[in-house]
Amino acid sequence: MKNIFTLILFSFFGLSASAQLANWTPPHGTNFPTNLTGQINGICRINELVFHPTDTNKYYAVTPQGGLYLSTDQGANWTVAAGTENLTGYASSICIDRTNDQTILLGGGDFSYYNNGSGIYKSTNGGTSFSPTGLTSGIVGEILQHPTNALIFVASTNSGMVQSTDGGNTWAATTATNIPFSNLVIKPVTNSLTMYACTRETTPRFYRSFDFGTTWAQVTSGLGASTTFITNGSRIAVTAANPNIVYFEVIGGGGMMYRSTDGGTNFTLKKNEGQPFITFYDFDNNNGLGTQGHYNNCIWADQTDPSHIWLQSHCTWHSTDSGATWTRLTNWPFLVHTDMHQIVQAPFNNNKLYSCNDGGVWLSEDGGNTWTPKSNGMYSLEIGSNCGKSSKIRPDFTTIGTQDNGRLYGDSTAYFTIGGGDDYAKRVTDYNGNIYFDGDRRQLNHQGSTSLSFGLPTVNWNDIAFNRKNKNLAFIGENNVYRSTNLNAATPSWTQISTFNVAIRAVHSSIADSSKLYVLLNNGNIYVCNNALDAAPTFTLQTTPATASQTGSIVAMASNANHAYYCANDDIYETTNGGTVWTNITSNLPSVNHRRILAEEYGGTTGLVFVATNNAVYYRKTGAATWTNYSTNLPARRAPSDFSMFDDGTSQARIRYCSFGRGMWESPFSNLRELKAEIVVASDSTITCGSPTIQFADGSVGTNNTPITYAWSFPGGTPSSSSATQVNVTYPSNGTYTISLTVTDGLNNTSTKTISRFIQVINCAPDSVAGNAIVVNGGSNYVSIPPIAMGNTNTVTLSTWLKISSTQPAFSGIIFTSSGSACGLNFRNNNEIGYTFNNAASTYNYSGGPIIPTNEWTHVALVTTPTNATIYVNGESYVNNVGNASVDFSNSWTIGNDRANTSRTMTGELDEVCIYNRALSQSEIREQMHLTKNSTPSTTGLMAYYQSNEVSGSIVYDRAGTANGALQGTASSIKSTAPVGAGTSERQNVNTPSIYNFTTAGVTMTFTAPTTPQGEVCVTQINTLPDSLTTPNYNPASASKSYWAIHNYGSNQTFSPLSTITFAGYGTISATEASTPNIFKLYKRGSGAYLTSEWALNDTASAATSGATGVLTFDGNNITSYSQFNIQNDVQIPLAVELRSFTADCLADAIALNWQTLSEKNSAFFEIERSTDAKNWEAIGKQAAVGNSNATEYYTYVDQTAMRTELTYYRLRQVDAVNNTLYSNTINILCLKDAENDVYAYPVPITDVLNIRNKNKEEIKIYNAQGQIMYSGIDTKINTGSWASGVYILKTSTQSIQLLKE
Amino acid sequence: MKFKSLLAAILLVLATNLAAQAQENTKKYYATDYEKNPVWIDMMRDPSPNFDETVKAFREFWKDRILPEEPMEKANGTDNFELAVGLEKENETAEERAAERREKDEKLANQTGNEINYADEVRAFKGWFYYAQQWLKKDGTVMTMQEQQAIINKQQAELKQIENQNGNR
């Protein structure tokens, strides 16, 4: 019988035996948010705070939207009452039975809004559950219990006073009917039956009862109403200090206060309407904002001083003369949250004054001057419609907009308030970490500035679609569709791509095929576009029976662009043919307007979708007859106001449900997926340095059949294997490393995740080449640096190379810190170099620095001492003789920016950023500026050193210390063209015509009369090649020293032509070459020049000495000034790259390409080319080459935009400095979502061993082109050494894969 | 015993009367009143009118009046409520929105102070508007609290069944 009953139930609810449970929790805890604004913040809207009749620690707080909250520690912490979690009725008031605190009456409706009445509910178990009583409608503002008969209660409602004589089960009308009551109080005398009440009307009325609410009579003596600023509402206050005193407040007119001293028989006007407007935002209404009337008002009479009353209405006021005169204690944006609903003293301690408002419960213990929030746990944030979203790239980050409590974000630690007031700006998040708000403003990188335009030509957009596979792509739906393909631009550009001019409800860009776009219209029809990336896309209209007049959303499966769903109001439809036919699959969902439908963003082979509806979340997989409720632990109290997803394919994936009144909730959903091993790496970069310890954690999904075992493999790491769920692995040596995890569940299903060459460990010692430079782009796009252990000092050196192309914002920082309030190098107006030290006006007002030129590299430095500061520009000094006090350098730094002020970010390139805690001498500045900091003395006192030579990731490694920086926003790195490298320098004074031998730097010059430099000449020999070369056939392999930078600090910038100049140690010069010295060319370009075209042929060698350290002599007649020099050899040595391997691997969301070279000669860069047919190729990226090497070099490129579900071909175009090209072999790869469940063969083309991934041990057969079976079986390695070149076909029962052996 | 039964009967009658009274309060609303009277206040508190009709009544009343607003809304300019209820137009440019703002400020400055302030009702309407959208029936009316609770109760029973099936609780 029991089984039959169960069967019936299963049948009734349409349940599947494999249904899994959700686990909904608040994503950022429930504590009061951390305030990052200058305005007061909050967490919930409180209607009423009530104290336990006898237990002084126990409080009850009623929130209209969030339900009932309980505290057992005087409000320090709150927990929600279970009884209101599934109760849809609003809550306004509460009464605890003084004889049995398990009996609670809960007044329904939203008293402040005076709306949504729902009568009275009763609990007999302390709030664990509530049931309706006989009063099922009405807004209940107050419920009071009879002082001697515990079964009698009186409640004030919007339509009269009602009374219960049976403990609140049934309610009867009193003589006060059809009256919109606001306050109800009892005379504060023991066992008093006298009650006072007032109304919410523009001419408010005062009522009195002498029989505990059975009969009521209006009192009018002395009372009036406002004639200006008329609004609804009145309030009453009484005091135990003098029970005959009754205060009656009229909210209109800016606040009128009456007082009765005879128990409410007669009243006297104490404050008339007019100023001060104590019920307004502003006491004189200068801001014109007036009042919010009944919504925002409360008064309380001091229980120890009958002449002292408080009034809260936007601001906190009090009067100590019975309401005649008033003093403002708090202004509405500060100290305590505004929108006041109750002010009350604790009955057991009159020094505890509580304010209940739209921010929560606040406590003042100094009479209302200062306030502290007491609202931890009151998780009742009212999130607006479409105002709560998950980051698409950070598992912990969300953004929400709330009624009354502004804009917040949440992360793994807490909620943070970043804006006040009402934030109803709908928002969406893209796959670059940016948030787009209503109108035309976006916030970059989650927490950057919110004031940046995203370039939209209109402001009233309805939805934006982004694409995980194409992160620069977006479609905006308004009345037409606009497209952007450059979201990463400072201001993206948009193109209107439709002309149908119909209101759009939602848009979706297919992950599987970014050319496929779905557009849902408000009228329920759908436009489908299959060429959304074309210049002129075409849209096909599909009419449907649905309407999306209120809500609607549309989504396609991540793995199948033609399998899509949409919800329109209360209907849900599915298509499996790209939108031609839609089938209604609403099934068992309630007939209400569904908020949104979501599809998992990775995978999708099971067609898993979620819908948030009133008031639950359901999921469905393809083919299921019904939807399955997935709402365990989700409060059913409030309907969804937004619904979003973070999905990275791992167990970190979350769906998030927002509500207007119970905040945001999240649930993992990995238990709905099939078993799949996934790895979560606690690092944002695959490149790291030193001997890093990296944390790997299990991120597997579908691990439902316990017990689960884990088998990790970390070749090259310590430990090299583990069975834990989370492992810290140390990599002691440089190299690239593969990680692998195999999970096995209780049914012996296994899944393996391998990420080949995922970790790249590099040497963090300073490089000896210019490498890359930092690119900063203004705004939020700079480099942040953590504090550097500089100590407390006034001797500091900051230096960098920089290149700008435009006028920089005034006071944009170059190298800056907030230590000492402000210290650093910066730009003043019109690119004048300046500085600040210890925030002293005498430093930031210094205007003796020169203008930094545009479009050339300039070396700038700041050196401070106790007595002065010197700015160096290309070694020339500019001194400000102002003393400097010591600064405690304990704060963070910024490169390209002044202290994170986004209006003070420069635009340009920086390289070789150095921070010393000592004052470098002028000589050191001049000698070291072209040199990388590889050895003393350049490393002495060098506390931080940023070469920015990393090729990927957002970390900028500190090559001198541990203060690694981070690229912010769109800041990036680019191949550096700065005149920098390892080498040597030497200075000499050149005052008379003679031979000057700069032995250390390898240059000898003969100066002639009549004009010599008359001062210091500094020669730097740079051991690397310049960034660009002129001679097409240049042979750099033999030139170990060919690049010099010479500076003339003498008084004569030009001088008489040299008679000879000799460069020693050029490199190997053969006897043949020595016999024809004119093959060696001397080129010259400006000191800060960086373009190839700027090199000018200066001379050809007149003599050459053969040998390993050859010497070249030029006559020097064309040299009358100094700058950069380079010697080039026009003997052609062709590009040669010996490729050792070239492989492709599937990553979670990309394809990693790895290759190694055994040797390289004259290699400039590798261009990665991609194709889907091995015929038509597109260049997708570049990777700088080492250039010349006889050691094994490792390269990695991650194709973030790979179409992983299609067979994709890759090849490398190897390019030298003058664009000679060689191509690598072609490889291909196919990354199916559940690749480990399919047969997968590699490498392709086939080598002598063919590897087979064949998880299900399915039999495979391989045929040659003639149809002969070459192999049959289930082996994972097949020896194919004897197979002839040609095409082979691998077949399983479901797959056919073409293989190629070359 | 008889007395208790009689009392229960009286209470039942009274309670029934209260419920009946609520039913009788159902009003008729006339489109001709929308522009001059705040009919929308009663309409939003009454489950019987069509949602779109209530929004229309609100729009008609406020189209030539100054909608009360709060300082942060004014500062942010990001509240799309006015657009949602049809007090702003689609395809509005930033310049048009700024012009509209200037016009509002001028009207606000010219207010005499004798107008009735409906700030709290507007706040209530805003909350009701978003809430009611979620609970619309096919006929365009808003579900009663009891109807909403019935749906929630059904979902909770459904969920309980699934949880029991999984051995949870």
Tell me if B136 and A459 make a contact (CB, 8 A cut-off): no
A321-330, A457-466, A813-822: range with lowest mean pLDDT: A457-466
Is residue A216 very low, low, confident or very high in pLDDT (cuts 50, 70, 90)? Answer: very high
CA distance B101 to chain A (A): 14
| Residue A115, token pair as written in the block | 């709306």
| Interacting residues of A1277 by C-beta distance below 8 A, sequence separation 6+ | A1249, A1250, A1251, A1252
By the 8 A CB rule, do A1264 and A1242 touch? no
Given a cut of 50, is residue A1237 above it in pLDDT? no
Rounded CA-CA distance A46/A1150 in Å is 48
Supply A897's token pair: 């920016």
Q: Give me the interface pTM, i.e. the ipTM.
A: 0.81
Query: In the predicted model, is pLDDT for residue B3 greater than 80?
Result: no
Strand A709-713, strand A721-722: pairing: antiparallel
Query: CA distances (Å), A587 to each of A466, A570, A1190, in order?
Result: 30, 11, 68
Q: Is the CB of residue A1171 less than 8 Å from the CB of residue A1184?
A: no
Structure tokens at A761: 């460990």
Say yes or no to pLDDT of B24 above 50: no
Q: How confident is the model at residue A1142 (pLDDT cuts 50, 70, 90)?
A: confident
Lookup: tokens for A956: 């900028």
* A458 → closest Cβ in B18, B93, B154: B93
For residue A1221 the two structure tokens come to 């090209």
- Confidence (pLDDT) at A1247: 74
pLDDT of residue B2: 44
Least confident of A481-485, A563-567, B73-77: B73-77
Confidence of residue A1135 (pLDDT cuts 50, 70, 90): low
pLDDT value, residue B13: 42
Calpha distance A1128→A1137 (Å, rounded): 22
| Residue indicated by tokens 């009228």 | A523
Q: How many residues does chain A have?
A: 1302
pLDDT digits (tens, 9 = 90+) for A873-929: 999 999 999 999 999 999 999 999 999 999 999 999 999 999 999 999 999 999 999
Note whether A359 and A375 are within 8 A (CB).
Answer: yes
Q: Are A272 and A223 in contact (CB under 8 A)?
A: no
Whether residue A1217 has pLDDT greater than 80:
no
State the helix-helix crossing angle for B51-62 and B119-134, rounded to 10 degrees: 150
Q: Closest residue of B to A588, CA-based? A: B155
The confidence band for A78, taking pLDDT boundaries of 50, 70 and 90, is very high
Helix (H, G, I), strand (E, B) or coil at A737: strand
Yes or no, beta carbons of B135 and A614 under 8 Å apart = yes
**Contact (Cβ atoms closer than 8 angstroms) between residue B83 and residue B126:** no
Mean pLDDT of A719-723: 96
Average of per-residue pLDDT across A1188-1200:
76
Q: How far apart are CA A399 and CA A852, in angstroms?
A: 41
DSSP secondary structure letters along A1112-1156? EEE--TT-SS--EEEEEE------EEEEEEEEEEE-SSSEEEEEE
Q: Residues A408-435: pLDDT tens digits?
A: 999 999 999 998 888 888 999 999 999 9
Whether A737 has a pLDDT exceeding 90, the answer reads no
Q: What is the per-residue pLDDT for A1238? A: 57
Give per-residue pLDDT as tens, A997-1044: 999 999 999 999 999 999 999 999 998 888 777 665 455 555 667 899
**Cβ count near A592 (within 10 Å):** 22
Helix (H, G, I), strand (E, B) or coil at A910: strand
Q: How confident is the model at residue A660 (pLDDT cuts 50, 70, 90)?
A: very high
Exposure of B74 in the CB half-sphere (CA atoms within 13 A): 14
**% of chain A exceeding 70 in pLDDT:** 92
The angle at the Cα of A815, spanning A809 to A816, to the nearest 5 degrees, equals: 85
Mean pLDDT of A618-622: 95
What's the pLDDT tens digit per position in A1053-1091?
999 999 999 999 887 888 888 898 998 999 999 999 988
**Residue A1132 pLDDT grade (very low, low, confident, very high; cuts 50, 70, 90):** low
Question: Nearest CB to A426: which of B12, B80, B146?
Answer: B80
Contact B135 A290 (CB under 8 A): no
More confident residue, A1130 or A852: A852
Q: Does B99 touch chain A (CB under 8 A)?
A: no
Q: Mean pLDDT, to the nearest integer, of A187-205?
A: 97
**pLDDT for res A17:** 43
Selection from A80, A68, A74 nearest residue A634 by Cα: A80
Q: Is A291 within 8 Å of B117 when comparing Cβ atoms?
A: yes
- Helix, strand, coil share of chain B (percent; to 5): 65, 5, 35
Least confident stretch, A721-725, A1076-1080, A1253-1257: A1253-1257
Looking at residue B117, its pLDDT comes to 79
What is the average per-residue pLDDT within A304-328?
Answer: 97
* Res. A952 pLDDT band, cuts 50 70 90: low
Nearest to B152 among A86, A113, A202 (CB): A86
Could you give the dihedral angle defined by the CA atoms of residues A621, A623, A627 and A633, in that order, rounded to the nearest 10 degrees?
A: -20
- What distance in Å separates residue B32's CA from the closest CA in chain A? 24
Question: How close does chain A come to B107, measured CA to CA in Å?
Answer: 11
Q: Residues of A with CB below 8 A from B81's CB? A: 424
Give the model confidence (pLDDT) of A43-58 as tens digits.
Answer: 999 999 999 999 999 9
- Contact of A5 with chain B, judged by CB distance below 8 Å, is answered with no
Strands A687-689 and A750-762: parallel
Between B19 and A799, the more confident residue is A799
| Average pLDDT over chain A, rounded to an integer | 90
Q: How far apart are CA A1113 and CA B67, in angstroms?
A: 86
Percent of the residues in chain B that have a pLDDT greater than 90, as a whole number: 34
* A673-693 mean pLDDT: 76
Distance of alpha carbon B14 from alpha carbon A333, whole angstroms = 47
Residue B25 in this model has a pLDDT that exceeds 50: no
Q: What is the pLDDT of residues A772-786, one digit of tens each?
A: 899 999 999 999 999
Listing DSSP states for A571-618 in one string gives EEEEESSSSSS-EE--TTS-SS---EEEE-SS--TT--EEEEETTEEE
C-beta neighbour count of A896 within 10 angstroms: 31
Residues in chain A with CB shorter than 8 Å from the CB of B136 are: 550, 569, 592-593
Cβ-contact A312, A329 below 8 angstroms: no
The chain A residue lying nearest B108, using CA atoms, is A288
Here the contacts of B74-77 (C-beta below 8 Å, separation 24 or greater) are: B75/A421, B76/A419, B76/A421, B76/A423, B76/A425, B77/A439, B77/B101
Is A136 an 8 Å CB contact of chain B?
A: yes
The yes-or-no verdict on residue A854 having pLDDT over 70 is yes
Least reliable range by pLDDT among A258-262, A964-968, A1113-1117:
A964-968
pLDDT at A193: 98
End-to-end CA distance of chain B: 42
Judged against a pLDDT cut of 90, whether residue A582 lies above it is answered with yes
Separation of alpha carbons A417 and A407, rounded Å: 6
pLDDT digits (tens, 9 = 90+) for A523-560: 999 999 999 999 999 999 999 889 999 999 999 999 89
A1092-1128 burial string, b = 16+ CB within 10 Å, else e?
eebbeebbbbeebeeeeebbbbbbbeebeebbbbbbb
Instruction: Give the pLDDT confidence score for residue B94 in this predicted structure.
Output: 65
Please give the sequence-ordered ranges of beta strands (E in DSSP) within A1010-1087, or none if there are none: 1015-1022, 1043-1048, 1060-1063, 1080-1085
Helix axes B145-165, A2-13, angle to 10 degrees: 130
What 3-state class would DSSP assign to A1086?
coil
Neighbour-count burial of A752, counting CB atoms closer than 10 A to its CB (0-12 exposed, 13-18 middle, 19+ buried): middle
| Residue of higher predicted confidence among A884 and A286 | A884
Q: Is residue A1021 exposed (0-12), middle (13-18) or buried (19+ Cβ within 10 Å)?
A: buried
Mutate which: B58, B65, B76, vs A, most A CBs within 10 A = B76
Stretch 19-58 of chain B: residues touching chain A, C-beta under 8 Å: 19, 21-22, 25, 44-45
Whether residue A716 is predicted with pLDDT greater than 90 in this model: the reply is no
Where is average pLDDT lowest: A139-143, A382-386, A765-769? A765-769
Q: Is the pLDDT of residue A1241 over 90?
A: no
pLDDT at A1093: 86
Token duo for residue A1163: 């290699």
Digit-coded pLDDT (tens) for B110-140 = 766 667 778 888 888 988 998 898 899 989 9
Question: Which tokens sit at A876?
Answer: 């020339």
**Which of A1102, A1099, A1060 minimizes the C-alpha distance to A1083?**
A1099
- Entry pTM: 0.72
